[in-house]
Chain A
């Protein structure tokens, strides 16, 4: 794949190095001249010095043939415009923008950016998950949050211990899709019996999430 990365700093450097090591073709666009010169000596990528939201520079960077455009600068407006120009002038199929204001995540996607990522939001979510539920981790939404995937650990006081899945009567729209028991992975059936320290991969619709958790882990969950 051909990647164009706009923006300097450590993130751009490590991402570029990672893509190159996986055999991808990388072009970097960097505004700071000294940084551009230094990077061009450090990694095997084409490094251009200039403004990534300048159509002429985008053309020079090979935007016409690239597969993915990543905008990583600390300026949301520059990331948006560069992605939009790459898309509408050069037909670049996938654009990814880092945003600083978490609200811009939704706004950028509304404005046609393929993926917008807010580091602030990711860190906030991680912290909230880790501090709220010790036994529940890896909560991530799928299909714009209409499905939630959770990893749930069964502790000694969990009401579901020693029971089979079919006897638990989980609500409609809740499914135990996998069980991690020590080193083994079990794809469960109705007759699978749950044990202490099992980690369940729970797939639910948000409305049934609370009830499923209560059945598996008890009222405290």
Chain B
């Protein structure tokens, strides 16, 4: 991942804006899509990418973001179903090589992993982190 990638991020909430700022700082070309323009306030002053206002569930909005040319598509809205749909559209219709969706619900996540959608579940990651912290804590006490 050393060379510059073209990355589309759908959803400019806490996770989306954090990723957009960080990836832009690393020198990647980033386009962020959100249906609420006010959310772009979360982008840092150094953010060098572009923003598109619109509902990414409309294919037309994804085309405006030039999703067809993207190397990577990240679905980071607050809605599992939106992310799951966007990931599949980015992969199947726009043929983006690397697509990742955030999915809170672990049971939904496992179904879509079987369908070939790459997902990251904050719920599952937190559970693992808690368990690791418990193990460390109890090891420290022993």
Spell out A's residues near B (CB within 8 Å).
53-56, 75-78, 80-81, 84-85, 88-89, 101, 103-104, 107, 110-111
**B83-132 interface with A by 8 A CB criterion:** 84-86, 88-89, 92-93, 105, 107-108, 111, 114-115
Identify B80's interface contact among A81, A103, A107, A111, CB under 8 A: A81
Does B85 contact A55, Cβ atoms closer than 8 Å? no
Decide yes or no: A80 and B85 within 8 Å by CB, A55-B108, A107-B59 being known contacts. yes
Q: Are B107 and A81 in contact (CB under 8 A)?
A: no
Report whether over half of chain A's contact residues are helix, strand or loop; otherwise say mixed. Answer: helix
- Count of B interface residues, CB-CB < 8 Å: 21
What is the CA–CA distance of A85 and B88 in the complex, to the nearest angstrom?
Answer: 14
- CB contact between B108 and one of A53, A75, A104, A111 (< 8 Å): that residue: A53
Contacting pair A89 B57 (CB below 8 A): no
By the criterion CB–CB under 8 Å, are B79 and A77 in contact?
Answer: yes
Q: How far is the CA of A77 from the CA of B57 in the complex (A)?
A: 7
B115:A88 contact, CB within 8 angstroms: yes
Q: Are B81 and A88 in contact (CB under 8 A)?
A: no
Which A residues are CB-close (under 8 A) to B85? 76-77, 80-81
Which of A80, A103, A104 lies in contact with B81, CB distance below 8 A? A80
Residue of B nearest to A76 (CB): B57
Residues of B within 8 A of A81 (CB): 80-81, 84-85, 108
* B37 interface hit (Cβ, 8 Å): no
Residues of A within 8 A of B107 (CB): 55-56
Bound CA span A97–B128, Å: 36
Asked if B30 is at the interface (CB within 8 A of a chain A CB), the reply is no
Q: Determine the distance from Cα of A110 to Cα of B93 in the docked complex, in whole angstroms.
A: 9
Closest to B61 in A: A101
From A54, A89, A111, B92 is in contact (CB under 8 Å) with A111
A53 close to B59 (CB less than 8 A): no
Q: In the complex, A172→B1 CA distance in Å?
A: 57
Complex contact B57–A101 (CB within 8 A): yes
> Contact at A103–B60, with CB atoms within 8 Å?
yes
Q: How far is the CA of A55 from the CA of B92 in the complex (A)?
A: 24
Cβ of B80 and Cβ of A104 under 8 Å apart?
A: no
Residue of A nearest to B59 (CB): A103
Contact A101 B59 (CB under 8 A): yes
Nearest-neighbor residue (CB-CB) of A82 within chain B: B81
Partner of A88, one of B79, B89, B93, B114: B114
